[in-house]
Structures are given as structure tokens and as C-alpha cells.
A and B are shown apart, each in its own frame.
Chain A
Amino acid sequence: MKFTVSWLKDHLDTSATLTEICDKLVSLGLEVEGIIDPAQKLNGFIVAHVVERTQHPNADRLSLCQIDDGSGTLLQVVCGAANVRQGLKIAFAREGTVIPSTGIALKKGVIREIESNGMICSARELMLGDDHEGIMELDESLTAGTDLAQALGMDDPVIELSITPNRSDCFSVRGIARDLAALGVGKLRPLTYKPHIGKFDSPIKVVIENSHACPEFRGVYIRNVKNCTAPDIVKRRLDAIGQRSINALVDVTNYLTVDLGRPLHVFDAKKLKGDLLVTQAVGGETFKALNDKEYTLAKGMTVIKDGDAVISLGAIMGGESTSADQDTTDVFLECALWDPILVTHAGRDLQILSDARTRFERGVDPQSVQLGIDAGVQLILDWCGGEASHVTVANHNQGKPKKAPETRITLTLHKLLSLSGFDVTLGTASDILTRLGFTVEIGKTELVATPPSYRMDIEGAADLVEEILRIIGYDNIPAMPLPQIGLKPKPPRKADVIRYTLAGRGLNECQTWAFISEEKSTWFGGQSPALVLENPISIEMKVMRPSILPNMLDAALKNHNRDSQNSKLFEIASQFNAGGQQLMATGIRSHNTHDRHWQSNQRAVTVFDVKADAQSILSAVGLSDQSYQVDQGALPYYHPGRSGTIRQGNRMLGYFGEIHPRILKQFGIDFSVVGFEIFIDILPEIKLKKAIANFSNLQSVYRDFAFVVDRNLPADKIVSSILKIDKKLISAVEIFDVYMGDKIDPAMKSIAVQVRIDPIKATLTDAEIHDLSDKIMSQVAKNTGGKIRE
């Protein structure tokens, strides 16, 4: 919402400065988005008078002028413009004035040996236009010494506000002035429009079919108008707020839309075919709007028809075929109310933005219809002459709409104090509300307020509290510390522990888009049509990702293309499928484990690097190695022989492995990538440790065994067989050698393990250790067929 300061002062009698006005607007909740002060660049320029012009003695093309700048002393100035002449009123810069086009302060000059004390300016030098053919020729009636900005009517700063959706009343200069007056920034001036009395009956009548869509419609027929241009001040104001002045008749409606927040429309009455009907579109009609665009209407949209044709979209935009132009002699002025919800839907569907739509969908004052007529008729008659009919009030085909009951809101002192936390009396509250136009009945412990018709946003006690606090000023309400409550120790969150674990292992955390291309989604098993966006930013961001790996692969490739290899990336975020969203910890490692190094040999990343990442996550949340199983193979986008699935019974905890070569090829990746995915939601919550079991100080015993087993036997089977023998005594089993080669049967492999035995109560005897060793050998033989390697 834009307006100028002089426009505001039409409604508000105030001596406040621009800065004061803007500060107050902000504290009222009317956010100032910008201030444009055109006078700023003309600072120092004045109107001056060429008292005498003679030829420069040393140059044919230069003039020597005696200039009256209003100071009483004439100044000698050299001027090169062809149009300078005696008696002209000119735009003048004295010595020291900063020239806008150069930003340099003017100095006294000597031109061809003659002193020059100032400069006569062209429009271009003042950045007021492109004309540099000659100097600006100002109105003869101006007085020398007058401020140039003022003389040019450019001393009227424009204020732009961002109006929140609730404040439909502030989509008008009147409404803004009203709010400022309530805060005490001047006095609201009364409106001067006189009640309209017509001279004849309107030959055009209006019928409303759907009272819900259009509760009220008034019209006036004005004949013998002469369309012309609006007064300069109106044109300047419309221009200042970025609206083109079109012609006086159209400008009346545009001006009042901003001035009073009361949209109006003028039809060229001669172009109308009979009476008007407010009805619903049947669907499929085409309509050419005032913006020169053609629209196809959907069934049920509110329209105005004359005879058979749609001539207006009511609240949204008028039609091209019945618009007022230079030749218009008779007009029909429309002032109506339209249902906000229907306006919102139609405006959204047709994608038409208009000042009228903006106001109607937020709500136009239901009591403004007659005011709109009075103001509209008066301006048309003032600017274009003519003769106006009586007001014609539309007939409702289906009976008049019911009047909405008056809103009466009770605000108890208790609610006022408890919401604001501030000591404010009912008297103060009542005073503020009254200043804002509310009707207030005050009692001992509560007040009852009826909002003015233009405040349709006020619905309950909380709204009244906001009104009261905003006039008091939010900054004047004391801050009060939140009462302290008892705290309980909280264990860390899983996702945080995992994040710090992975970063501690050298991976960099990323944040990547949750949507990917449809194609990539299918590569990772995405198939849910419910996760396809209707209005994506691009086809690359169209589907909610079924896995975070595609984002990680994209990132690794992008880094690779920028000559940054060995990516180590992870993200903790959601992936999506038909079952909903799952919080994942997903990561990749690419290329080599590390850069070339003088003593540590480079090697390509392997499945065991990401197995370690996956296991570190499980360990970080408190899952021991024995509490889950690792199976060979994972999802189809992993290398089938170099991947694994981690599960607890039939609950999948995650996957890890080399990315399938086909997937890498699809991405255009020609380097190694391994990845892991862990389902965070399924992992147990982290528990705070309470008392911890006693620590045994007895020395550990280590025993080594080498078993020859079938080549295809998962090595883990040996480890888990041994661990199960005595969960108390056997605390760890580590594989320290795997041998396949000519020293043993080619169908077999040798697995060497170190078993750690931790005595609990007393040091173990040789017999006990021997006994345990026997058990280990027989249990492994039983479970795996493994024999001790000779």
C-alpha cells in the first residue's frame, strides 16, 4: 500500500514530521517497507528569474545573464543553452549546491574570462528527464527563491506500507489516517462528501441473483459528462504510487479505491445493453478484462451481465467492452459489496491481481456503499460535469440477505491483565478502544466493545487486547522472566549422538534437498505416486526422495568435478515412502580413504569402511555387536556381493555396502563409492546410565585358535558360536587372520581368532582354562564343522 504524505494530510491534521509518522506507523503494526522522498535529490535547487540576458563578450554561443534568486542581489551567470531568455523562470543552482547527475558541489567558475555564480539547469542535470536540449522553463507564476521541489510539486514523499492480511481497513489512506489519529498523531479530518441527491431515475436497473455473492449493489447513472484528465494533484498522486493516470472517469475509481479503500467501477452506459444482472458464470464464457487479457470463466464465478454477455467480474475487474474512454458521455457508476471467499477463489483461479480484488478478498467496509456513491458522483461531477440520477438500489431476486448480528465482545479485566502481564485499567482500555472507533460499555470488572464496521478482523477478547496493547505500544510493555520450573536430567537425543559420532569419524555433515527427480527416485525404489509434487520448482526437485543416497552421490560427483576427491559425507534427515517418512543417518565415502601420504598408503574405500560407520552409529546409541545380526547383501542399489543388511530379528536397522555399479553408471560416476543407511527411528532411545556394575581387577587370559571351515561360511558364525558358550567369562572374540591358499584344501579357509577370557571372582586354574578351550573347539565344530588347523 503506497500513498503520499500530502494525501495522508488530506485526512489527518498533523504537524508530525515524516520520520515521526513512519515511526508511529511501525509501532501501530503498519510496517513501513520504504520511503521515497523525491525532494531529496533537489535539495538546494530553487526557482530563479532571468532579469536580463546579453551576449557573452567572448563567445558567440554563450549568454551572460543577470539572475534574481530571491535574495535581493542579482547574480551574474554564464549560460550555454539556446532557450535562455529574459523574463524566463528557471531551475537554478547556487554555488555549493550538489548536482544530482554528477554528485559534485557546484563551484564558482570563470568561463571565457567572465565570472559565473551558479548554474541554470536542464531536466537531465536534475535527473528529471532526458531533455538536455535546453534549460527547464518553469511556470511564469512562480516566485524567485522558492524551493524547486515544492515548485514542481515534488515535495511529497511516498510511503510504502506492508499491510497484514487482517487490516483490510488500512488498504486506504483514510484507514491509515484513522489509526494514526487514534495514536494521537494529529486529528482525523471529517469527510466532506455530501449525500448525493439525484435528478432523475436511472434508466439502468440492477438485479442480484445470488445475494450471498453480492449482498449489496448501488448504482447511479450520470449523463452528459465530458471525459477529460483528472486534476494535476490527483494525477501526481496516482503517478507517485505507481498507477498510471488513464482518464478522469477511470481515475475517479482508482483514486477512491486508494483514498477510501472503496473500489468503484464506471461503465460506459451507452455501451451497456439494458439492465444489469449479477449472476454466476455457467462456465466456458470468455471475457476480455480491462487489462486486455481474455479469460475463460469457470462455473459459479460471480459476474455482471447485460443482456447475455459478461461485462464485469464484479469484485475483480471490469470488462474491456464497456469501459469508459475519451468519447464517453454517459456512465453508470457501480458501488457494491462482494463475498470475500468467492472473490478469493475466483481471483486465485483466474490469476488476476487487482486493487479491487486485494480489498474485496480481505473485506470492504459493509457500510461504505453509500459513501462510495456520494464520493464517486461528487468527483465525477466536479471533474467531468454532467447530471446524476437518483441512486438505484439493486433488487435481490431471492430476497434480501440477512443482516449480520452486531458483534459485541466482552473483555474482562482479568483477561486483559493476564494476557498483557501489564497493569492497565479498564478506563484506559475503554479510552483506547473508543479512539479506535469502537463503541464501548464499561462495567466494574469488564467492558463490552462493538467494533466499527470497517474492523471485520475483530472477533474476540484477544483481538481487543491486541488493539489496546498496540496503542500503548508493544515496546512499553515490561518484559517479565518466564517462571523457572524444575528440570530433570535428559539423555542426549539419538540423532545428535549419531551426528557427533559420524563427524568424529571424519565425515562432513550436509543438508540437501528432500526432493529429487522422478528418474532418480525410481532408481532407489521410489514408486509412490502420493509423493510427487504438483507444483515442483523444477523436474529435478519433483519427488520426495525414497533415499538420501542419490543426494549424496550427486554431491560426491559435483565435488569430483571440482577436483575435490575422497568425499566423506553424511546427512541426518528424512526419506519418504508410502509408509510415511523415516529419519535416516545416511552417508557415503568416495575414491580413497585419504589423500596420498608419505608413509600411509592410499587405498580405495571398501565396504568395511562403511560397515564401520554403520556399526559406530549402533554402538553410539548403546547397541552391542552381539545385539544385532549382519547378513550378506542389501537393497538392489547396492553391490550384491559387497553389501550387508543389519537387522535385529526381522527389524531392519540399516544397510551398507558398495553402491551398485549400474547405479554409479547412471549417475555418470567412474570412481568408487560406498555408502550406509541407518534407520534412526528404529534404534533405541539413549538411556542415562545409573549405577554401573563393579569392575573386576583380575587379569584377562587370552587364547588363540585357528579353525579350518568351509570357504563360504560367514566368519561371524565362529565368533557368535564362541561368544555364546559363556557370556560371563568370554568377553571378546577377535578374528586376526583369514587364510585361503595352497597350504589348505581349496574348498576351505582358515580363520584365526583370539578369545579374551575375563575371570569374575577368582583367577582361573589351568584346568578351568583347558576345559573352556575344549568347549570352544567342540562348539565351533558342532556349529560350523570347523576343525582346529594342524
Chain B
Amino acid sequence: MSNQLYQWQSEIQGTQSIRDLEDLRVTLLGKTGEITSLLKTLGTIPADQRKEKGAEINHLKQIVADAIDLKREQLGELELSQRLIHEKVDVTLSSDPEAKGSIHPISQVFNEIVTYFAHFGFEIETGPEVEDEDHNFTALNMPDHHPARQSHDTFYFMPDESGIKKLLRTHTSTVQIRTMQQKKPPLRILAPGRVYRCDYDATHTPMFHQIEGLVIDKGINFGHLKSTVIEFCKYFFEIENLKIRFRPSFFPFTEPSAEMDIGCDRSGGGIKFGSGDDWLEVFGCGMVHPNVLKNCGIDSDEYQGFAFGFGVDRFAMLKYGIPDLRSMFESDNRWLGHYGFSPFGGR
């Protein structure tokens, strides 16, 4: 018997596949298998030996069955590891193409500005780009002959039947007027948008972007104006020790009027903030002129406030090191990918 067992065990060990092993199992343990046949012979054995012989054959059967199970497991492992080797791919190949879209730097900067001022309760207002003389000039305390009008390089449209010419707004200050005519103080608004001036060279584009801020309330003063624009610039340019200078200026719609410069260093060719002895003009601002409040039906004895405005395109160039203004408007795929922002934040 033990010779027989040895024979069977070596047959089991010798199988190369699960299928061969299964065939062997049928040959040995199947209904007509050799070991099954042995058990069937028990009936022919004398009764007194039958019990002992039966136990012996069953033991044998158990050993063989275990050996087959063990072998099956080994063969399974082997086949799996062969399959895994076979299934290997080159994961350094590129994944499916997925276009990366981008946010234009001007929109990015608008968003940064609006997000900052939202913390202080500023709400967004907008107005039309095709405007009339009244909203663009007259209501802003710039009557027809005002010399400041000439500096605006205004785009005019062909006159209508009655000879009246519409124009493209030259600043977002028009939105101040439209808002104050419709809403009552207290007001904290931001007016982002496109503005137009008839000027086209390396540092001027006929269309550009501005943002205007306006605060009207009781007791709003020049100190509030200073703090608002200074803190914003520190935040925006991320420079705590930004050097800042305020100087008197002139805008027909503010009085007192000011311009804010930030200290910079131009010695390296570009512009660096936070050091240097040079100045860069960044903001126009001032206390809203009483005539403007009056033009909008607001009592300047009760309410007063400030307004500020600046060019967003230039802020985008300064913050993100974009060297050429005109490139912003050229829709070059590569430029958009290079200077654009991920819609999910970051670059």
C-alpha cells in the first residue's frame, strides 16, 4: 500500500496544471477512481479485517485528497503570478488626454479684488459700456467745456437723428452715478468692468479694465479712504512693508482728491515692490464731490464718502509679471495656458 501511496503522491506532485490535477483527482477519487474502487472491495474482505482495512483505505484517501488540495493551491498561486506577469502594462504611457482650461489673468485679478472687498460688505454693481455724456461726464461734475474731458480720449458713436452722440464709457465711475441714482445710502459698492479710450500703443489699449469702489455713509472720512486702499494694496501684492505715498491730485468727481503711489525699484529692468526709491502710481481716489452727491439726489450734509478706481490689467501685469499689455488681448492658446489660472485655484 505504501508503495502505491508513494506512486500516487509523486503523480500529484508531477501535475503541471489545475486541469491535469483535476483529471488525476477523478482518476483517484472519482466515482470509478482507483481509491474509490479500493473502498468498493471492502465488501469482499472478511468482516473481522474489514474495519481495520476500511480505516486504512480512508486514511489513504484523506492523504491523497489533502495532497491534491495542497497541490491545487500551489498551482493556483503559480497561475496567478504568471497571469500578473502577463498582464503587465507600461504605466509610463500617457493617460487619456484631458484638456486643461484656464481663467484669464484679468478675471483672476478681478476675482481676487472682489473677494477681498466682499469681507467689508462691498457689493458688485455693473453698468452699460455704451453710455451717454451725462453719466460719463456731466453727472460726474465734468461739464461740457471741462478741460479734464479732453484727457479722456473718448470714443464717440455716429450721432443719432437728433444729433446726440453716445460714447463708450471712459471709466467705471459711471456706475457710481447709476447706483447712487437708484439706491439709497449707506452704500458699499465695487464696479468692475470694461472701459474704452482712443489710444493704442505699447502701454495703452483701446479697451481695458477698471474697478471702481464707492463707500457712502454717515461720517466716512479721508482716513477711512487711506486705510481701505493701503490695506488692499498690502493684501493684493502680498507685501506687508509696502512703501506708500499719498499726494493731492485732481478728479472732477472727488474733493479732496488723491493719488496713491507705491514705492518700487525699477533698477533691474522690471518693477519690484517693497524696496527702492522710485514710485509707481496705482490708485486715483478721493472724497466724493458734493456736486456728484447732489446730482444723484443725496444730501451731502448727511452723507459723504469716498471713491477709488484703478486699472485691473496693469495690476495683473504687476502682480503676475506679465511683460506685455497687448498680449493679454491676443487669445494665443499658448499664452493663455502659460499665464492663465487653473479654475480650481493655483497655477
Asked whether B128 is an interface residue with its Cβ less than 8 Å from the other chain, the reply is: yes
Cβ proximity bits A127-157 to B, threshold 8 Å, 1 near / 0 not: 0000000000000000000000000000000
- Whether A466 touches B331, Cβ cut-off 8 Å, given contacts A165-B148, A421-B222, A581-B130, is no
Whole-angstrom CA separation of A572 from B101 in the bound complex: 14
Whole-angstrom CA separation of A663 from B152 in the bound complex: 37
Whole-angstrom CA separation of A219 from B120 in the bound complex: 62
Assess whether B250 is in contact with A482, with CB atoms less than 8 Å apart: no
Assess whether B130 is in contact with A531, with CB atoms less than 8 Å apart: yes
Assess whether B198 is in contact with A479, with CB atoms less than 8 Å apart: no
- Whether A514 touches B129, Cβ cut-off 8 Å, given contacts A477-B222, A478-B223, is yes
List A residues 474-516 near B (Cβ within 8 Å). 474-475, 477-487, 490, 493, 496, 499-515
CB contact between B194 and one of A166, A569, A573, A597 (< 8 Å): that residue: A573
Asked whether A344 is an interface residue with its Cβ less than 8 Å from the other chain, the reply is: yes
Cβ proximity bits B5-41 to A, threshold 8 Å, 1 near / 0 not: 0000000000000000000000000000000000000
Closest Cβ neighbor of A590 among chain B residues: B333
Residues of B within 8 A of A600 (CB): 96-97
- Size of the B side of the interface (Cβ < 8 Å), in residues, is 88
Asked whether B91 is an interface residue with its Cβ less than 8 Å from the other chain, the reply is: no
Cβ proximity bits A577-600 to B, threshold 8 Å, 1 near / 0 not: 000110000000000001101111
Residues of B within 8 A of A192 (CB): none
Whole-angstrom CA separation of A568 from B337 in the bound complex: 11
Assess whether B198 is in contact with A504, with CB atoms less than 8 Å apart: no
CB contact between B93 and one of A477, A552, A598 (< 8 Å): that residue: A598
Assess whether B155 is in contact with A533, with CB atoms less than 8 Å apart: yes
Cβ proximity bits B318-347 to A, threshold 8 Å, 1 near / 0 not: 000000000011111110110010111000
* A-contacting 9-mer, from B62-70, B77-85, B254-262: B254-262
Taking the closest CB of chain A, its distance from the CB of B115, in whole angstroms, is: 10
Whole-angstrom CA separation of A600 from B99 in the bound complex: 13
* B-contacting 9-mer, from A57-65, A276-284, A301-309, A457-465: A457-465
Assess whether A482 is in contact with B99, with CB atoms less than 8 Å apart: no
Asked whether A781 is an interface residue with its Cβ less than 8 Å from the other chain, the reply is: no
Whole-angstrom CA separation of A234 from B211 in the bound complex: 47
Residues of B within 8 A of A559 (CB): 331-333
Assess whether A568 is in contact with B99, with CB atoms less than 8 Å apart: yes
* A-contacting 9-mer, from B43-51, B132-140, B177-185, B224-232: B224-232
Assess whether A421 is in contact with B230, with CB atoms less than 8 Å apart: no
- Whether A482 touches B224, Cβ cut-off 8 Å, given contacts A509-B102, A533-B157, A558-B332, is yes
Residues of B within 8 A of A572 (CB): 107
Cβ proximity bits A369-385 to B, threshold 8 Å, 1 near / 0 not: 00000000000000000
Assess whether A421 is in contact with B224, with CB atoms less than 8 Å apart: yes
Asked whether A107 is an interface residue with its Cβ less than 8 Å from the other chain, the reply is: no
CB contact between A514 and one of B158, B194, B332 (< 8 Å): that residue: B194
Closest Cβ neighbor of B219 among chain A residues: A418
Assess whether A500 is in contact with B103, with CB atoms less than 8 Å apart: yes
Whole-angstrom CA separation of A88 from B33 in the bound complex: 137
Assess whether B103 is in contact with A597, with CB atoms less than 8 Å apart: no
Whole-angstrom CA separation of A463 from B147 in the bound complex: 18
- Which of A341, A511, A581 is packed against the most chain B CB atoms within 10 Å? A511
Assess whether B249 is in contact with A568, with CB atoms less than 8 Å apart: no
Residues of B within 8 A of A97 (CB): none
CB contact between B289 and one of A462, A479, A482 (< 8 Å): that residue: A462
- Whether A479 touches B223, Cβ cut-off 8 Å, given contacts A474-B247, A531-B157, is yes
- Whether A597 touches B340, Cβ cut-off 8 Å, given contacts A164-B250, A482-B224, is no
Whole-angstrom CA separation of A501 from B344 in the bound complex: 10
Taking the closest CB of chain A, its distance from the CB of B337, in whole angstroms, is: 7
Taking the closest CB of chain A, its distance from the CB of B92, in whole angstroms, is: 12
Residues of A within 8 A of B97 (CB): 594-595, 597, 600
Whole-angstrom CA separation of A505 from B121 in the bound complex: 32
Asked whether B248 is an interface residue with its Cβ less than 8 Å from the other chain, the reply is: yes
Taking the closest CB of chain A, its distance from the CB of B166, in whole angstroms, is: 7
Listed by A's residue number, 29 A-B pairs whose Cβ atoms lie within 8 Å are A29-B248, A29-B249, A164-B250, A362-B147, A421-B221, A422-B222, A460-B290, A461-B290, A462-B255, A469-B222, A479-B226, A480-B226, A490-B118, A500-B343, A503-B343, A506-B101, A507-B99, A514-B129, A514-B207, A530-B160, A531-B130, A534-B155, A541-B206, A562-B332, A567-B333, A569-B336, A581-B130, A597-B94, A599-B93
B residues lining the A interface (CB < 8 Å): 93-94, 96-104, 106-107, 111, 118-121, 123-124, 128-130, 144-148, 150-151, 155-160, 165-166, 168, 186, 188, 194, 196, 198, 200, 206-207, 209, 215, 219-224, 226-228, 230-231, 245-250, 255-259, 287, 289-290, 304, 328-334, 336-337, 340, 342-344
